Protein backbone atom coordinates (compact mmCIF):
# COMPACT_ATOMS: atom_id res chain seq x y z
CA UNK A 1 0.00 0.00 0.00
CA UNK A 2 1.13 3.50 -0.84
CA UNK A 3 -0.51 6.35 1.07
CA UNK A 4 -0.08 9.09 -1.54
CA UNK A 5 0.74 7.58 -4.92
CA UNK A 6 0.83 10.91 -6.70
CA UNK A 7 3.47 12.31 -4.35
CA UNK A 8 5.44 9.13 -3.72
CA UNK A 9 5.69 7.82 -7.29
CA UNK A 10 6.28 11.05 -9.26
CA UNK A 11 8.60 11.09 -12.28
CA UNK A 12 12.01 12.71 -11.81
CA UNK A 13 11.04 15.72 -13.98
CA UNK A 14 7.79 16.36 -12.13
CA UNK A 15 9.62 16.06 -8.83
CA UNK A 16 12.31 18.55 -9.80
CA UNK A 17 9.77 21.09 -11.07
CA UNK A 18 7.86 20.84 -7.82
CA UNK A 19 11.01 21.04 -5.70
CA UNK A 20 12.24 24.15 -7.54
CA UNK A 21 8.91 25.92 -7.20
CA UNK A 22 8.75 25.11 -3.51
CA UNK A 23 12.40 26.00 -2.93
CA UNK A 24 11.90 29.43 -4.47
CA UNK A 25 8.85 29.98 -2.27
CA UNK A 26 10.51 28.90 0.96
CA UNK A 27 13.65 30.95 0.33
CA UNK A 28 11.53 34.04 -0.32
CA UNK A 29 9.44 33.36 2.79
CA UNK A 30 12.53 32.89 4.97
CA UNK A 31 14.23 36.02 3.59
CA UNK A 32 11.19 38.21 4.08
CA UNK A 33 10.10 36.96 7.48
CA UNK A 34 13.11 35.75 9.47
CA UNK A 35 15.76 38.32 10.45
CA UNK A 36 18.38 35.60 10.72
CA UNK A 37 17.96 34.54 7.09
CA UNK A 38 17.81 38.11 5.77
CA UNK A 39 21.10 38.84 7.51
CA UNK A 40 22.79 35.62 6.35
CA UNK A 41 21.62 35.93 2.74
CA UNK A 42 22.71 39.59 2.65
CA UNK A 43 26.15 38.59 3.96
CA UNK A 44 26.69 36.24 1.01
CA UNK A 45 24.86 38.64 -1.33
CA UNK A 46 22.17 36.25 -2.46
CA UNK A 47 18.60 37.30 -3.09
CA UNK A 48 15.61 34.96 -3.36
CA UNK A 49 15.38 35.73 -7.10
CA UNK A 50 18.92 34.32 -7.57
CA UNK A 51 17.51 30.82 -7.07
CA UNK A 52 16.74 29.93 -10.67
CA UNK A 53 17.58 26.22 -10.64
CA UNK A 54 17.71 23.54 -7.93
CA UNK A 55 21.47 23.62 -8.20
CA UNK A 56 21.44 27.27 -7.10
CA UNK A 57 20.69 26.03 -3.58
CA UNK A 58 24.46 25.78 -3.16
CA UNK A 59 24.64 29.59 -3.14
CA UNK A 60 22.72 29.64 0.14
CA UNK A 61 24.44 29.51 3.54
CA UNK A 62 24.06 26.52 5.87
CA UNK A 63 22.03 26.58 9.07
CA UNK A 64 23.56 24.82 12.07
CA UNK A 65 22.26 23.66 15.41
CA UNK A 66 24.13 26.58 16.99
CA UNK A 67 22.28 29.05 14.75
CA UNK A 68 18.96 27.60 15.89
CA UNK A 69 20.08 27.63 19.51
CA UNK A 70 21.14 31.27 19.26
CA UNK A 71 17.63 32.13 18.09
CA UNK A 72 16.17 30.53 21.24
CA UNK A 73 13.29 30.50 21.86
CA UNK A 74 11.25 31.88 18.95
CA UNK A 75 13.74 33.76 16.77
CA UNK A 76 13.42 31.44 13.76
CA UNK A 77 9.65 31.69 13.43
CA UNK A 78 8.45 33.07 10.10
CA UNK A 79 4.86 33.76 11.15
CA UNK A 80 3.29 35.82 13.95
CA UNK A 81 3.19 33.78 17.17
CA UNK A 82 -0.65 33.76 16.97
CA UNK A 83 -0.35 31.39 14.03
CA UNK A 84 1.86 28.88 15.88
CA UNK A 85 -0.38 26.16 17.31
CA UNK A 86 2.23 23.76 18.71
CA UNK A 87 5.85 23.78 19.83
CA UNK A 88 8.40 21.05 20.44
CA UNK A 89 12.02 21.13 21.48
CA UNK A 90 15.11 18.99 21.16
CA UNK A 91 16.32 17.28 24.33
CA UNK A 92 18.91 19.97 25.00
CA UNK A 93 21.43 17.49 26.41
CA UNK A 94 24.28 19.63 25.09
CA UNK A 95 23.07 23.12 26.03
CA UNK A 96 19.88 25.06 25.41
CA UNK A 97 17.33 23.11 23.41
CA UNK A 98 16.20 24.30 20.01
CA UNK A 99 12.55 25.12 19.56
CA UNK A 100 10.41 24.01 16.64
CA UNK A 101 7.14 25.84 15.94
CA UNK A 102 4.24 24.52 13.85
CA UNK A 103 1.28 26.22 12.19
CA UNK A 104 -1.87 24.24 11.41
CA UNK A 105 -0.53 23.68 7.91
CA UNK A 106 2.74 22.32 9.34
CA UNK A 107 0.85 19.89 11.56
CA UNK A 108 -1.06 18.76 8.46
CA UNK A 109 2.22 18.17 6.63
CA UNK A 110 3.63 16.27 9.60
CA UNK A 111 0.48 14.10 9.76
CA UNK A 112 0.78 13.47 6.01
CA UNK A 113 4.44 12.35 6.07
CA UNK A 114 3.83 10.19 9.14
CA UNK A 115 0.77 8.66 7.42
CA UNK A 116 3.05 7.79 4.50
CA UNK A 117 5.63 6.30 6.93
CA UNK A 118 3.19 4.10 8.80
CA UNK A 119 1.58 2.94 5.54
CA UNK A 120 5.05 2.10 4.25
CA UNK A 121 5.51 -0.14 7.30
CA UNK A 122 2.33 -2.01 6.33
CA UNK A 123 0.02 -0.03 8.59
CA UNK A 124 -3.64 0.69 7.86
CA UNK A 125 -7.09 1.12 9.36
CA UNK A 126 -7.09 -2.31 10.99
CA UNK A 127 -3.86 -1.80 12.90
CA UNK A 128 -3.29 -1.18 16.59
CA UNK A 129 -0.24 1.00 16.92
CA UNK A 130 1.49 0.82 20.29
CA UNK A 131 3.29 4.13 20.40
CA UNK A 132 6.11 3.88 22.95
CA UNK A 133 7.83 7.07 21.83
CA UNK A 134 7.69 9.73 24.51
CA UNK A 135 4.80 12.19 24.39
CA UNK A 136 5.72 15.71 25.38
CA UNK A 137 8.23 18.16 24.04
CA UNK A 138 10.03 15.34 22.24
CA UNK A 139 8.54 15.00 18.74
CA UNK A 140 8.41 11.18 18.64
CA UNK A 141 5.13 10.63 20.45
CA UNK A 142 3.02 13.29 18.77
CA UNK A 143 4.43 12.62 15.31
CA UNK A 144 3.45 8.95 15.31
CA UNK A 145 0.14 9.87 16.94
CA UNK A 146 -0.84 12.27 14.14
CA UNK A 147 0.15 9.81 11.42
CA UNK A 148 -1.64 6.88 13.05
CA UNK A 149 -4.87 8.84 13.32
CA UNK A 150 -4.59 10.08 9.75
CA UNK A 151 -4.47 6.52 8.37
CA UNK A 152 -7.39 5.59 10.62
CA UNK A 153 -5.44 3.09 12.72
CA UNK A 154 -6.03 2.73 16.45
CA UNK A 155 -3.27 4.50 18.32
CA UNK A 156 -2.32 3.32 21.80
CA UNK A 157 -0.66 6.43 23.30
CA UNK A 158 1.24 4.53 25.99
CA UNK A 159 4.37 6.70 25.68
CA UNK A 160 7.82 5.61 26.87
CA UNK A 161 8.71 3.56 29.94
CA UNK A 162 6.78 1.25 32.27
CA UNK A 163 7.89 -1.92 30.56
CA UNK A 164 5.57 -4.23 32.47
CA UNK A 165 2.54 -2.27 31.32
CA UNK A 166 3.87 -2.19 27.74
CA UNK A 167 4.00 -5.97 27.76
CA UNK A 168 0.54 -6.39 29.28
CA UNK A 169 -1.02 -4.04 26.73
CA UNK A 170 0.87 -5.71 23.90
CA UNK A 171 -0.49 -9.11 24.92
CA UNK A 172 -4.02 -8.10 25.94
CA UNK A 173 -4.79 -5.63 23.14
CA UNK A 174 -2.90 -7.54 20.44
CA UNK A 175 -0.88 -4.56 19.21
CA UNK A 176 0.20 -5.09 15.59
CA UNK A 177 2.75 -2.28 15.17
CA UNK A 178 5.17 -0.96 17.75
CA UNK A 179 7.05 2.33 17.59
CA UNK A 180 10.08 2.92 19.84
CA UNK A 181 13.87 3.09 19.84
CA UNK A 182 15.61 -0.07 18.61
CA UNK A 183 17.43 -0.52 21.91
CA UNK A 184 14.13 -0.43 23.76
CA UNK A 185 12.71 -3.02 21.34
CA UNK A 186 15.61 -5.29 22.21
CA UNK A 187 15.02 -4.69 25.90
CA UNK A 188 11.33 -5.53 25.52
CA UNK A 189 12.30 -8.75 23.75
CA UNK A 190 14.57 -9.62 26.64
CA UNK A 191 11.86 -9.04 29.24
CA UNK A 192 9.32 -11.03 27.19
CA UNK A 193 11.75 -13.90 27.02
CA UNK A 194 12.42 -13.75 30.75
CA UNK A 195 8.70 -13.93 31.45
CA UNK A 196 8.32 -16.89 29.13
CA UNK A 197 6.14 -15.01 26.63
CA UNK A 198 6.98 -16.40 23.20
CA UNK A 199 6.67 -14.32 20.05
CA UNK A 200 3.64 -16.44 19.03
CA UNK A 201 1.72 -15.01 21.95
CA UNK A 202 2.11 -11.48 20.68
CA UNK A 203 0.62 -10.10 17.51
CA UNK A 204 3.27 -7.66 16.28
CA UNK A 205 3.91 -7.56 12.53
CA UNK A 206 6.10 -4.48 12.25
CA UNK A 207 8.23 -2.15 14.31
CA UNK A 208 9.00 1.44 13.36
CA UNK A 209 12.29 2.10 15.08
CA UNK A 210 14.25 5.32 15.24
CA UNK A 211 15.69 8.16 17.33
CA UNK A 212 19.03 6.38 17.63
CA UNK A 213 21.56 4.67 15.43
CA UNK A 214 21.40 0.93 14.88
CA UNK A 215 22.83 -1.69 12.58
CA UNK A 216 21.69 -4.36 10.14
CA UNK A 217 22.78 -7.01 12.64
CA UNK A 218 20.64 -5.44 15.34
CA UNK A 219 17.71 -5.53 12.92
CA UNK A 220 18.15 -9.27 12.45
CA UNK A 221 18.32 -9.77 16.19
CA UNK A 222 15.12 -7.79 16.84
CA UNK A 223 13.26 -9.47 13.96
CA UNK A 224 14.23 -12.92 15.19
CA UNK A 225 13.25 -12.25 18.77
CA UNK A 226 10.02 -10.34 18.22
CA UNK A 227 8.99 -12.01 14.96
CA UNK A 228 8.24 -8.79 13.08
CA UNK A 229 9.61 -6.58 10.30
CA UNK A 230 11.95 -4.08 11.93
CA UNK A 231 11.99 -0.83 9.93
CA UNK A 232 13.99 2.33 10.18
CA UNK A 233 12.38 5.73 10.57
CA UNK A 234 14.34 8.98 10.41
CA UNK A 235 13.56 12.48 11.44
CA UNK A 236 14.68 15.40 13.52
CA UNK A 237 12.90 18.04 15.54
CA UNK A 238 14.64 20.88 13.72
CA UNK A 239 13.12 19.77 10.42
CA UNK A 240 9.71 18.50 11.61
CA UNK A 241 10.19 15.44 13.87
CA UNK A 242 9.88 11.80 12.81
CA UNK A 243 8.68 11.34 9.23
CA UNK A 244 11.51 12.89 7.24
CA UNK A 245 12.29 9.44 5.84
CA UNK A 246 11.03 5.88 6.30
CA UNK A 247 12.16 2.47 5.20
CA UNK A 248 9.79 0.40 3.07
CA UNK A 249 9.40 -3.37 3.36
CA UNK A 250 12.21 -3.86 0.80
CA UNK A 251 14.51 -2.91 3.68
CA UNK A 252 17.29 -1.41 1.63
CA UNK A 253 17.28 2.26 2.45
CA UNK A 254 14.90 4.92 3.72
CA UNK A 255 12.66 6.91 1.38
CA UNK A 256 13.02 10.64 2.01
CA UNK A 257 9.79 12.57 1.52
CA UNK A 258 11.64 14.83 -0.86
CA UNK A 259 8.59 16.79 -1.98
CA UNK A 260 8.68 18.29 1.54
CA UNK A 261 12.35 17.95 2.55
CA UNK A 262 15.10 18.62 0.03
CA UNK A 263 18.21 16.52 0.74
CA UNK A 264 21.85 17.16 -0.15
CA UNK A 265 25.06 15.38 0.81
CA UNK A 266 28.12 17.49 1.62
CA UNK A 267 31.66 16.75 2.69
CA UNK A 268 31.60 17.59 6.44
CA UNK A 269 35.08 19.14 6.23
CA UNK A 270 34.97 21.18 2.99
CA UNK A 271 31.16 21.59 2.91
CA UNK A 272 31.26 20.95 -0.85
CA UNK A 273 28.30 19.12 -2.34
CA UNK A 274 28.93 15.47 -3.14
CA UNK A 275 27.31 13.51 -5.99
CA UNK A 276 24.65 10.84 -5.35
CA UNK A 277 26.17 7.59 -4.15
CA UNK A 278 28.93 9.26 -2.13
CA UNK A 279 29.03 9.19 1.63
CA UNK A 280 28.84 12.46 3.52
CA UNK A 281 26.78 14.65 5.82
CA UNK A 282 23.07 14.97 5.15
CA UNK A 283 21.82 18.54 4.69
CA UNK A 284 18.06 19.20 4.62
CA UNK A 285 15.89 22.11 3.52
CA UNK A 286 12.21 22.25 4.47
CA UNK A 287 10.36 22.94 1.22
CA UNK A 288 6.88 23.50 2.58
CA UNK A 289 7.15 24.40 6.23
CA UNK A 290 5.36 27.59 7.16
CA UNK A 291 5.99 28.30 10.85
CA UNK A 292 9.72 27.67 10.83
CA UNK A 293 11.39 27.21 7.46
CA UNK A 294 14.90 25.79 7.76
CA UNK A 295 17.35 26.28 4.91
CA UNK A 296 20.26 23.86 4.38
CA UNK A 297 20.31 22.43 7.88
CA UNK A 298 23.45 20.47 8.70
CA UNK A 299 22.12 17.30 10.34
CA UNK A 300 25.59 15.90 11.27
CA UNK A 301 24.26 12.52 10.16
CA UNK A 302 26.46 10.56 7.78
CA UNK A 303 24.70 8.76 4.92
CA UNK A 304 24.46 8.25 1.14
CA UNK A 305 21.67 9.28 -1.29
CA UNK A 306 20.43 6.96 -4.03
CA UNK A 307 17.98 7.91 -6.78
CA UNK A 308 15.76 5.67 -8.90
CA UNK A 309 12.59 3.63 -8.63
CA UNK A 310 12.41 1.23 -5.70
CA UNK A 311 10.90 -2.25 -6.04
CA UNK A 312 8.05 -0.98 -3.87
CA UNK A 313 7.09 1.42 -6.70
CA UNK A 314 8.11 4.63 -4.96
CA UNK A 315 10.44 7.12 -6.63
CA UNK A 316 11.24 9.08 -3.48
CA UNK A 317 15.03 9.37 -3.18
CA UNK A 318 16.53 6.86 -0.76
CA UNK A 319 19.17 7.30 1.91
CA UNK A 320 21.19 4.56 3.54
CA UNK A 321 20.73 3.96 7.22
CA UNK A 322 22.77 6.48 9.21
CA UNK A 323 26.26 5.07 9.68
CA UNK A 324 27.45 7.68 12.14
CA UNK A 325 27.21 11.24 13.31
CA UNK A 326 29.98 13.68 12.78
CA UNK A 327 29.46 14.47 16.53
CA UNK A 328 29.57 10.82 17.73
CA UNK A 329 32.54 10.14 15.58
CA UNK A 330 35.31 9.06 17.93
CA UNK A 331 38.90 9.68 17.07
CA UNK A 332 41.05 7.08 18.77
CA UNK A 333 44.79 7.24 18.06
CA UNK A 334 43.92 9.20 14.94
CA UNK A 335 41.54 6.54 13.65
CA UNK A 336 37.87 7.37 13.08
CA UNK A 337 35.60 4.99 14.97
CA UNK A 338 31.82 4.92 15.08
CA UNK A 339 30.04 3.01 17.88
CA UNK A 340 27.99 1.33 15.13
CA UNK A 341 31.14 -0.43 13.91
CA UNK A 342 31.75 -1.96 17.33
CA UNK A 343 28.14 -3.06 17.40
CA UNK A 344 28.46 -4.67 14.00
CA UNK A 345 31.46 -6.67 15.19
CA UNK A 346 29.75 -7.80 18.40
CA UNK A 347 26.65 -9.03 16.65
CA UNK A 348 28.72 -11.42 14.59
CA UNK A 349 29.45 -13.50 17.67
CA UNK A 350 27.15 -16.30 18.80
CA UNK A 351 26.07 -16.32 22.42
CA UNK A 352 26.49 -12.60 22.99
CA UNK A 353 23.75 -10.17 23.86
CA UNK A 354 24.39 -6.95 21.97
CA UNK A 355 24.58 -4.88 25.14
CA UNK A 356 27.84 -3.01 25.28
CA UNK A 357 29.60 0.12 26.38
CA UNK A 358 32.70 1.75 24.95
CA UNK A 359 35.11 3.41 27.34
CA UNK A 360 37.85 5.66 26.00
CA UNK A 361 40.74 6.70 28.23
CA UNK A 362 44.16 8.22 27.74
CA UNK A 363 46.32 6.84 30.56
CA UNK A 364 49.80 7.57 29.15
CA UNK A 365 49.36 10.05 26.26
CA UNK A 366 47.96 7.20 24.21
CA UNK A 367 44.28 6.47 23.70
CA UNK A 368 42.97 3.20 25.07
CA UNK A 369 39.66 1.76 23.99
CA UNK A 370 37.88 -0.70 26.22
CA UNK A 371 34.71 -2.43 25.14
CA UNK A 372 32.58 -3.93 27.87
CA UNK A 373 30.26 -6.59 26.60
CA UNK A 374 27.63 -8.54 28.45
CA UNK A 375 28.15 -12.26 28.26
CA UNK A 376 25.10 -14.48 28.04
CA UNK A 377 24.18 -16.71 30.97
CA UNK A 378 25.45 -19.80 29.19
CA UNK A 379 28.75 -18.22 28.36
CA UNK A 380 29.23 -16.88 31.85
CA UNK A 381 28.75 -20.26 33.47
CA UNK A 382 31.23 -21.78 31.04
CA UNK A 383 34.87 -22.65 31.66
CA UNK A 384 37.41 -19.89 32.00
CA UNK A 385 39.41 -21.11 29.02
CA UNK A 386 36.41 -20.75 26.75
CA UNK A 387 35.70 -17.24 28.02
CA UNK A 388 39.27 -16.25 27.19
CA UNK A 389 38.76 -17.63 23.69
CA UNK A 390 35.57 -15.63 23.20
CA UNK A 391 37.30 -12.48 24.43
CA UNK A 392 40.08 -12.90 21.88
CA UNK A 393 37.56 -13.68 19.23
CA UNK A 394 35.69 -10.43 19.89
CA UNK A 395 38.95 -8.47 19.83
CA UNK A 396 39.72 -9.96 16.42
CA UNK A 397 36.29 -9.08 15.04
CA UNK A 398 36.54 -5.50 16.31
CA UNK A 399 40.04 -5.15 14.91
CA UNK A 400 38.80 -6.33 11.53
CA UNK A 401 36.04 -3.72 11.66
CA UNK A 402 37.92 -0.65 12.90
CA UNK A 403 41.58 -1.47 12.33
CA UNK A 404 42.57 -1.06 15.98
CA UNK A 405 43.29 -3.54 18.75
CA UNK A 406 41.05 -2.87 21.74
CA UNK A 407 40.62 -4.42 25.18
CA UNK A 408 37.44 -6.38 25.56
CA UNK A 409 36.04 -7.28 28.94
CA UNK A 410 33.15 -9.62 29.35
CA UNK A 411 30.87 -8.50 32.12
CA UNK A 412 28.08 -10.34 33.89
CA UNK A 413 24.73 -10.66 32.15
CA UNK A 414 22.37 -7.75 33.00
CA UNK A 415 25.14 -5.67 34.54
CA UNK A 416 25.30 -2.80 32.03
CA UNK A 417 22.73 -0.01 32.46
CA UNK A 418 19.54 -0.44 30.42
CA UNK A 419 17.92 2.57 28.88
CA UNK A 420 14.32 3.25 28.00
CA UNK A 421 15.36 5.98 25.61
CA UNK A 422 18.62 6.50 23.81
CA UNK A 423 21.34 4.10 24.94
CA UNK A 424 24.58 5.60 26.24
CA UNK A 425 27.18 3.71 24.25
CA UNK A 426 30.29 5.78 24.70
CA UNK A 427 31.97 7.00 27.85
CA UNK A 428 34.87 9.24 26.89
CA UNK A 429 37.08 9.83 29.92
CA UNK A 430 39.81 11.66 28.01
CA UNK A 431 40.40 15.31 28.71
CA UNK A 432 40.63 16.60 25.17
ZN1 LIG B 1 10.75 1.29 -1.42
Q: How far is the CA of 219 from the centre of ligand 1 (A)?
A: 17
Q: How far is the CA of 250 from the centre of ligand 1 (A)?
A: 6
Bridge partners, 281 (sequence order): 266, 302
The correct answer on CATH 3.40.50.12780 for the domain covering 1-326 is yes
Q: What is the pLDDT of residue 381?
A: 65
Q: Is pLDDT at 386 greater than 90 in this prediction?
A: no
Q: How far is the CA of 121 from the centre of ligand 1 (A)?
A: 10
CATH architecture of the region 330-428:
2-Layer Sandwich (3.30)
pLDDT tens across 169-216, in order? 999 999 999 999 998 999 999 999 999 999 889 999 999 999 888 889
Mean pLDDT value across residues 231-250: 97
- Distance of alpha carbon 32 from alpha carbon 283, whole angstroms: 22
Q: How far is the CA of 197 from the centre of ligand 1 (A)?
A: 33
Q: How far is the CA of 286 from the centre of ligand 1 (A)?
A: 22
Q: How far is the CA of 102 from the centre of ligand 1 (A)?
A: 29
Residue of 157 and 337 predicted with greater confidence: 157
Mean pLDDT value across residues 419-430: 75
Backbone angles phi, psi at 301, to 5 degrees: -85, 135
Residue of 425 and 113 predicted with greater confidence: 113
Answer yes or no: are the C-beta atoms of 375 and 391 closer than 8 Å.
Answer: no
Q: How far is the CA of 220 from the centre of ligand 1 (A)?
A: 19
The number of C-alpha atoms within 13 Å of 46 and in the hemisphere containing its C-beta is: 20
pLDDT tens across 323-342, in order? 777 766 777 887 778 887 88
Q: How far is the CA of 262 from the centre of ligand 1 (A)?
A: 18
Beta-sheet strand order (sheet of 407-411): 407-411, 368-375, 352-361, 426-428
Q: How far is the CA of 185 from the centre of ligand 1 (A)?
A: 23
- Kindly list the domain boundaries of the chain, sorted by start residue: 1-326, 330-428
The number of C-alpha atoms within 13 Å of 15 and in the hemisphere containing its C-beta is: 23
For 83, residues 6+ apart whose C-beta sits below 8 A from its C-beta are 103, 104, 290, 291
Q: What is the pLDDT of residue 382?
A: 61
Q: How far is the CA of 316 from the centre of ligand 1 (A)?
A: 8
Mean pLDDT value across residues 12-34: 98
Q: What is the pLDDT of residue 420?
A: 63
Mean pLDDT value across residues 160-175: 96
Share of the chain above pLDDT 90, in %: 71
Amino acid sequence: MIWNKEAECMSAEEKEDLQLKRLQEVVKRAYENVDYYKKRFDEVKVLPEDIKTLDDIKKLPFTTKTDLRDAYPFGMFAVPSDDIIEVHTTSGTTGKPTVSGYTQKDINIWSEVMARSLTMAGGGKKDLIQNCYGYGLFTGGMGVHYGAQKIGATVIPISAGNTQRQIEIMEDFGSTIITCTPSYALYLAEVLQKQGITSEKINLKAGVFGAEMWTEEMREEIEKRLNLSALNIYGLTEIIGPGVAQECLEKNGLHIFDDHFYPEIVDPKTLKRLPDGEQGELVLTTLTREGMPVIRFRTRDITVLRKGRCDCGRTLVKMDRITGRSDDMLKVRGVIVFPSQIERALLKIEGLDPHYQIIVTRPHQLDELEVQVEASDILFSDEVKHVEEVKNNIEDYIQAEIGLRVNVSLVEPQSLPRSEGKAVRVIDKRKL
